[in-house]
Copies of this chain bind each other. A is one copy, B any other.
Amino acid sequence: MTAQKIRTVIIGASGYTGGDFMRLAVPHENIELTGLVANTHAGKPVADVFPHLRMANLPDMVKSDDINWDEVDAAICGLPHGTAQDIISTLPKSVKVIDMSADFRLRDTKTYSEWYGRSHDHEELYSEVAYGLTEHNRDDIRKARIIACPGCYPTAVLMAMLPLVKSEIVETESMILNAVSGVSGAGRGLKQNTLFCETGEGFSPYAIGNHRHTPEIEQEINKAAGEGDLQVTFTPHLVPMSRGELISCYLTLKAGQTISDARATMEKAYNDEAFIHIAPEGVVPGTQHVRGSNHCLIGLFEGRVENQLIVISTIDNLVKGSAGQALQNFNLAFGIEEQTGLEQLPLFP
């Protein structure tokens, strides 16, 4: 018996998320990577762009025009926001799209244009879109044609927050989300601040009060809370490491709620999940404990101040925060066992 093979094309195959999807997809028994689109590298072997994939048997990079979309079952989109929507809108309806860009994450096109600096020109596709936070949206994901995979920060934040908000364990007024990311979160483009010498041996905040993942987090928190205009404080910082993301959430327990309630709620929410883990009492999550894997580790801690709850959530930004969650959604969309291709344990040290 031969495994079913999904003919899969990666659009934006030369970036870090595209590269990480390839890493995961090559050993996946149901995936046949039939096209790798990277316009500026068209004609090159993959190994010229990603030397670590030299040993994989992959086709050369091509231009998007070179793809015959009638022979494609799935498109994985690793393009930057703004470019993704235009290409996705041209694909035939027979192609399922797993979009790692930001273009279909926000349901409100006005919010999109405010935060992303261009109009959203494909509102007509929204009826086919599901927000791809796998553990919280499986039914929609299974039915959608376009899966808008969450941003890396929203993934780590929402895994920590949604059960607590839905169960009304925490106040929703003053949620402070202090976030950090490894440098790969900034992508592979050439920018001075991601040079080794600029960020090595350094730690610095950025986009204070105005990071683009903020409205996405708020959209989902509001939905979970049944509210409309809750706002969060979200401050990202850059860490001198390649991979990893960790959120320190400072929350307030609602009157009558305890940290035990919070823990019980979280454990119940993720008890059957393969990738989301609530750390035992006293165990502190670190990014190095999930590196290279699709796992998310969450710890709950009592704060010093009364009724304070501190939740720590960590993922690998390129895996659970991007390519891994995309693959998980891919599996779901095609009726494949959800963990396929994601069995790897974290790489430590």
Residue positions of A touching B, CB distance < 8 A:
16, 19, 22-23, 26-27, 47, 50-56, 174, 176, 178, 180, 182-184, 188, 190-192, 194-206, 208-210, 214, 231-235, 237, 239-244, 246, 248, 250, 274-275, 277, 279, 283-293, 295, 297, 301-305, 308, 310, 312, 314, 343-349
Contact A289 B52 (CB under 8 A): yes
Which residues of chain B come closer than 8 Å to A279, judged between CB atoms?
A: 54
Q: Evaluate whether A209 and B239 lie within 8 angstroms (CB atoms) in the complex, with A183-B197, A345-B56 already known.
A: no
Contact A195 B195 (CB under 8 A): yes
Contact A27 B343 (CB under 8 A): yes
Which residues of chain B come closer than 8 Å to A16, judged between CB atoms?
A: 197, 349
Contact A51 B194 (CB under 8 A): no
Contact B349 A208 (CB under 8 A): no
Q: Evaluate whether A200 and B174 lie within 8 angstroms (CB atoms) in the complex, with A289-B51, A348-B50 already known.
A: no
Residue of B with least CB distance to A56: B345
User: What's the least CB distance linking A96 to chain B, in Å?
Assistant: 24
For this complex, 20 residue pairs linking A to B, each with C-beta atoms less than 8 Å apart, are: A23-B346, A51-B283, A51-B286, A52-B291, A52-B347, A55-B295, A182-B201, A195-B195, A200-B240, A200-B349, A201-B287, A202-B289, A202-B291, A203-B288, A204-B285, A204-B314, A208-B284, A235-B310, A239-B239, A240-B241
CA distance A200 to B344 in the complex (A): 21
Please give the count of copies of this chain that the complex contains.
Answer: 4
Contact B200 A196 (CB under 8 A): yes
Contact B304 A209 (CB under 8 A): yes
Q: Which 5 A/B pairs are nearest by Cβ-Cβ distance?
A: A204-B286, A202-B288, A197-B349, A52-B348, A190-B190
Which residues of chain B come closer than 8 Å to A232, judged between CB atoms?
A: 304-305
Partner of A192, one of B190, B250, B277, B314: B190
Which residues of chain B come closer than 8 Å to A348, judged between CB atoms?
A: 19, 23, 50-52
Contact B23 A347 (CB under 8 A): yes
CA distance A51 to B293 in the complex (A): 13
Which residues of chain B come closer than 8 Å to A203, judged between CB atoms?
A: 180, 182, 239, 241, 244, 246, 286-288
CA distance A240 to B16 in the complex (A): 19
CA distance A54 to B293 in the complex (A): 12
Which residues of chain B come closer than 8 Å to A343, judged between CB atoms?
A: 27
Contact A196 B242 (CB under 8 A): yes
Which residues of chain B come closer than 8 Å to A314, judged between CB atoms?
A: 204
Q: Evaluate whether A301 and B345 lie within 8 angstroms (CB atoms) in the complex, with A180-B203, A190-B192 already known.
A: no
Interface centre among A194, A204, A290 (most CB of B within 10 A): A204
Which residues of chain B come closer than 8 Å to A182, judged between CB atoms?
A: 197, 201, 203
